[in-house]
Structure 1
């Protein structure tokens, strides 16, 4: 099994599209990152854990799943780096390869010493671009092979039927 642990704020601060979102609304930037990591997880099959520092969200430690991605806000006075190091040490074994996505050079060396592999923010972004292109290509193929209705429908009516279908 492969696990990707993502240093959330480090990645947000390194990807241009997330930086501009962060400048408007930090919560929106976090949500966008988690959505992208859900796509990554769906395509690669990796278990994805996104870790955010507590200093932006005060209070006790918080964990939840969003799009099947595990999201962790560290407890107060615990940095994301500390939690990532603990997770990398805890989860790494002979059957599990841990990857850590961060551009923090010091953090990369620490997790590398624990047997985890590092992935820079740029590497992860490039990988995400390839994944998104792959998804777009698959969607086009599916749309192209979509069966034509036996009853001619306007696009507006077809869209209404599609909404009804998805609500079930």
Structure 2
């Protein structure tokens, strides 16, 4: 079975989501965190090796990585775009025999580059629809689980409790 990687251009997805764009107007950090929470829920059902890449273009920092509830989050280094990081990841990870890589981006030039490297692509808009569908399915599964749960407590009178306890202990 192939290892499935999903690599997401974080700011590209934020830019395609009306909800996340509104959040980003107030706080880009909050928009990133909201997207990452959506991805955590998505990955609960998909079980891929999920990576989300954000531009840190023109900052003074080096490339940084963090692990957010099962998701690898990468911030590009100074003067490097998220596209360059994604291309490097695809190049490093791809092996047609053991990996399947899907890249989420709506950047046309990036799409052509990753196709040439053997990765699949999904547009940010398509991915947002998939996120929404997965959210609905996850909520439905959670409802089903709650409905199927056995009752923890059964309301019975004291006399019946005593009789059941006597039976449990082997008394008549």
TM-score scaled by structure 1? Answer: 0.85
Indicate the SS of the match to 1:54. coil
**Residue 99 of structure 1 pairs with residue 78 of structure 2:** no
**Cα offset for 1:103?**
0.4
Instruction: Detail structure 1 runs of 4+ shifted over 4 Å in the superposition.
Output: none
Report the number of matched residues.
152
Indicate the SS of the match to 1:139. helix
**Cα offset for 1:38?**
1.5
Quick check: which has more Rg, 1 or 2? 2
2:13 aligns with 11
The unaligned stretches of length 5 or more in structure 1 are 153-168
Structure 1 residues 43-122: aligned runs within 5 Å: 43-55=45-57, 58-93=60-95, 94-122=97-125
CA 67–45 in structure 1, closer or farther in 2 if over 3 Å, else same: same
Alpha-carbon distance between aligned partners in 2 of 1:128 and 1:31, rounded to the nearest angstrom = 15
8 Å CA contact 2:4–2:48 kept in 1: the answer is yes
**Cα offset for 1:61?**
1.4
CA 57–141 in structure 1, closer or farther in 2 if over 3 Å, else same: farther
TM-score scaled by structure 2? Answer: 0.83
- Give the RMSD, CA atoms, in angstroms: 1.5
Alpha-carbon distance between aligned partners in 2 of 1:148 and 1:58, rounded to the nearest angstrom = 57
